């Protein structure tokens, strides 16, 4: 067994400041010379990018359904071997979702650090915290009061908490982590990302004695990761990676490598072509709508992906990847941009959310789990070859389209959930 200080950072709702507090705490601990490993609960790409920037290490996802309890246990055990502290950012409110952040905390005996937006409350914070602790219940390590007006305000919150320690407080931030329609702005797009993170680390008031008094968590010994067969041995997979195509789980990259693939990265936004020696292509999601003009002008990229398709090379296009392969993409301002034209139809951005939530695709090789989260819709004459199903409940989910060697969908797959299905997709097998 390995013991390490660990907390799951949650709140009563989204927007309370979980990511800000997690990032501030991670950067603070790193600057103190500690090794910090951060995880994100649930399906998410953007928060992990910022948390990786704050901690200096890749951020993996934990989720009892998407990732699975045994794999979550392995990831935590591996982190515990090298970390002085493990921070797990929750998703939504503490008890929201099936499974919830509270379920994850209880499964691994990790105490909860509750973030409270104190900007419009003082003593009522005590009632909120008591409810968060007792509803489940969960083991509550303490509270961070976010957006306090000053030390006097923080003291009022501390007095209201009674037997729950106020582990820290964070004043209202002059420079917050910037957001857009899908969530946080990617740190690579923010020239001052490190300066903001450092300022947050400086601003968070941490009760060092209370932090050190938290009992460490016992994690099982690191589990040897099962070795996959290597059906993709010798195959070269080209992966689009730039500001428009960045929504990739680190675990997906690990899975492709474990299956034997050699990975090559290229940038469609920079008009880089699909590497000509690639045997398959992976176009992940991202923000093609923000780079639609550059993509429309990327003639070498268009020609190369069409040539790959004509050569019958397997192509997996997820969400933004599919959007970039449509005939056209219309942004929220109403401007229409020509795309690669491999998926007949047009993609239209809208101001309201089109889909969100966990989903699964029942393939011939097994259940491939993942999620959907998008603001656009596609108008196409294509008939789906399959449909995902929503979790929980089983209602019909995203369409999966098959055009020759191309598989396209709004569905984001979590590759470790079914490596056999992933191997089939990238070796050209017909998915069903």
Hey, what domains does the chain have and what are their CATH numbers? 2-219 (3.40.50.300), 236-427 (3.40.50.880)
Taking the model in full, what pTM does it have?
A: 0.95
22, 87 contact by CB (below 8 A): yes
Other Cβ atoms within 10 Å of 193 Cβ, number: 20
CA-CA distance, 114 to 130, in Å (whole number)? 10
Angle value at C-alpha 178, between 172 and 183, nearest 5 degrees: 115
Please pick, among 64, 166, 308, 319, the residue that the annotation labels catalytic: 319
In the residue annotation, 319 being an active-site residue is answered as yes
Compute CA distances 166 → 24, 115, 118, 208, whole Å: 16, 10, 12, 11
Please state, in angstroms and rounded to a whole number, the distance separating the CA atoms of residues 44 and 88. Answer: 13
Which pair of structure tokens corresponds to residue 206? 């941490």
Q: What is the distance between the alpha carbons of residues 332 and 353, in angstroms, rounded to a whole number?
A: 13
Cα–Cα separations (whole angstroms), residue 68 to 8, 258, 370, 417: 17, 18, 12, 8
pLDDT in tens, 42-83: 999 999 999 999 999 999 999 999 999 999 999 999 999 999
What is the separation of C-alpha 148 from the centre of its chain, rounded to a whole number of angstroms? 28
User: Helix or strand or coil: residue 372?
Assistant: strand
Using one digit for the tens of pLDDT, what is the confidence trace for 216-241? 999 987 666 666 679 999 999 999 99
Q: Among residues 431, 355, 423, 369, which one has the least CA distance to residue 400?
A: 431
CB 384 within 8 A of CB 401: yes
Per-residue confidence (pLDDT) for residue 428, from 0 to 100? 81
pLDDT at residue number 229: 78
Pairing mode of beta strands 85-89, 205-206: unpaired
Residues in the chain with pLDDT values less than 50? none
Closest by CA to 409, choosing from 313, 343, 354, 350, is: 343
Tokens 């003593």, located at residue: 123
pLDDT digits (tens, 9 = 90+) for 263-280: 999 999 999 999 999 999
């Amino acid at each position: 067994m390995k013991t390490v200080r660990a907390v799951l950072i949650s709140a009563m709702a989204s927007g309370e400041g979980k990511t800000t507090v997690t990032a501030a705490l991670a950067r603070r601990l790193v600057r103190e010379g500690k090794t910090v490993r951060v995880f994100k609960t649930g399906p998410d790409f953007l928060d992990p990018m910022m948390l990786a920037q704050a901690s200096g290490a890749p951020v993996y996802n934990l989720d009892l359904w998407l990732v699975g309890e045994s794999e979550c246990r392995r990831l935590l055990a591996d982190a515990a071997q090298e970390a002085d502290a493990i921070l797990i950012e929750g998703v939504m409110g503490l008890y929201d979702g099936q499974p919830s952040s509270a379920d994850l905390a209880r499964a691994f005996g990790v105490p909860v650090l509750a973030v409270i937006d104190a900007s419009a409350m003082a003593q009522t914070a005590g009632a909120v915290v008591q409810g968060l602790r007792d509803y489940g219940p969960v083991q509550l390590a303490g509270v961070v009061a976010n957006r306090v007006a000053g030390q006097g305000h923080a003291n009022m919150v501390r007095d209201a908490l009674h037997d729950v320690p106020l582990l820290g407080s964070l004043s209202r931030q002059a420079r917050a982590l910037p957001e857009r329609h899908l969530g946080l702005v990617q740190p690579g797009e923010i020239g001052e990302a490190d300066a903001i993170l450092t300022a947050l680390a400086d601003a968070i008031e941490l009760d060092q004695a209370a932090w050190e008094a938290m009992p460490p968590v016992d994690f099982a010994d690191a589990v040897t990761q099962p070795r996959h067969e290597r059906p993709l041995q010798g195959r070269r997979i080209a992966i689009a990676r730039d500001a428009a195509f960045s929504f990739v789980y680190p675990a997906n990259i690990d899975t492709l490598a474990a299956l034997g693939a050699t990975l090559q990265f290229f940038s469609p936004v920079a008009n880089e072509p699909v590497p000509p020696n690639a045997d398959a292509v992976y176009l992940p999601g991202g923000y093609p709508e923000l780079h639609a003009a550059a993509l429309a002008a990327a003639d070498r990229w268009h020609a190369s992906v069409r040539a790959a398709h004509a050569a019958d090379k397997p192509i997996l296009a997820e969400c933004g990847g599919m959007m970039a392969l449509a005939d056209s993409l219309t942004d929220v301002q109403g401007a229409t941009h020509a795309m690669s034209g491999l998926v007949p139809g047009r993609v239209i951005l809208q101001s309201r959310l089109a889909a969100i939530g966990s989903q699964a695709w029942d393939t011939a090789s097994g259940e491939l789990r993942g999620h959907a989260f998008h603001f656009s819709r596609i108008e196409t004459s294509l008939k789906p070859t399959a449909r995902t199903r929503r979790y929980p409940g089983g209602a019909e989910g995203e369409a999966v389209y098959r055009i020759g060697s191309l598989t396209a969908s709004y569905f984001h797959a979590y590759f470790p959930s079914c490596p056999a299905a992933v191997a089939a997709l990238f070796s050209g097998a017909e998915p069903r």
